[in-house]
Structure 1
Amino acid sequence: MRKREREHPCGVCAHYHKKEETCGVCGHRMCDAAVQQSSLQLSAFPSEILPGFLYLGSYDNSSRLSLLKIQGIFHILNTVPACQNLYKNTFTYHCLQDEQSIPFDDAVNFLEQCEKDRARVLVHCMSGKNRSPAVVVAYLMKSKGWRLGQSYQWVKERRPSVEINQALYQQLQDFERKIFGNIENNGPTFPVFSSSSVAPAFNFGFEKPNDGAALPAFGNAGTPSIFTSPTSEIPQQFTFGAANIRNNGAFPPC
């Protein structure tokens, strides 16, 4: 297998095959643009919430050792006690033990330490739709100073499959009240998003547009609204590729 093929596994099934060929492992094939677009939410790669730092995904995403290494992710926040930590000798894990409510402060403290250490971190639950997105929303509120509605919208646009249930959303409202002293009264108590308002979250392998604007700096509680600039804008200093991989730039064996 050529080096280029080893560096770029399939974005849907995570196996190594050319786009126009059928995967010899699982039989997957990119038949046409419509099938490719519908497969994006089932991607083997986690969703990038904050460039070069915060990723959101499922238990399946957390089990793909080679892909996590390729993305430079070596810290994992496991939000489900029943999910096994598969690679304790490779990754730094932090597990939330409460199966009912989520200890947001505990989770946020771990993520803030990862940010301080400039370490990429994956937050996951079983499906990547409920508990782990709630943790990411709580982190955005606490560390970036964004309100609940803004934080939820930011995560939803980058991972359209997010479906936080009513009970967890109520916990997020309580957490917002704890941080800001009140909750926003100018919006619905539970977010409703039309399909037209959600942008695709997956763009691995393609250059991200950038017209010069940057994301708010990490750790800045006075960050202006995220809606003052297009959400597709990414900091120019962010790069993705072999330079971000540990082990002296070596790729994991096939």
Structure 2
Amino acid sequence: MSVRSDAPLAIVGAMQEELAALLAAMPDARPETLAGRQFWRGHLEGRPVVVVLSRIGKVAAATTATVLLAHHGVRAVLFTGVAGGLAEGVAVGDVVVARDLLQHDMDASPLFPRHEVPLTGMTRFPADAALANALAAAAQDVLAELPAHLPADVQAEFAMTKARLHRGLIVSGDRFVATAAESARLRADLPDALAVEMEGAAVAQVCHDWGVPFAAVRTISDRADDAAHADFGRFVGRVASPFSAAIVRRTLTRL
């Protein structure tokens, strides 16, 4: 796919709360509705961007990504939002930047190996290295400057003063992982998985098919266990939007 060097960068999130602060920082944003989605074109940190809400789940996210790439000619896609922590040591408030993404509920065996996307020969879709490096550097900056981005009471509530950056595998599936037993099964099946969510691997697959660079950053909202539902609501409401905005805006200054 040929993309102009001055083409906009796409920023995608699954929930309105995750994008609210970004849209508030784009006074020139103009919405366009396609396939039931609103795409906001404008500028962020002086750079042309398209911001879109993917909705929740792999099918919704893949539909959004396809419409985005077909109609907006973006040069790259950044996915931002929240996820559940899986690996030991990945705590609420930590940030995970994907190296690879995989659909943990993809299973066409015995016709194809478990987790392999049929007819692709791939189980893991790699993030673009340059974009992922920029996201990681931006996230490290934001974590180092935490008081400038989150009030002290929010940091204390989620113990974010000790928040860390992780890089590795993020897995996606069409269910909200919210029991310790299911989280344990995922760790057993995919021991190197750092976090679980519901959209990223689907968007990564679409971007791979189109030849468009993709990267993803997720802030850990819960531990994907029996307390996930309670943790998730509070975290998204108080942290997701300003934290996602801070990381993405800092990333744009590095591209």
Query: With structure 2 as the length reference, what TM-score do the two structures score?
Result: 0.29
Ranked by relative contact order (alpha carbons within 8 Å, sequence separation 6 or more), the top structure is 2
- Relative to total residues, which structure has the larger strand share, 1 or 2? 2
Is the radius of gyration larger for structure 1 or structure 2? 1
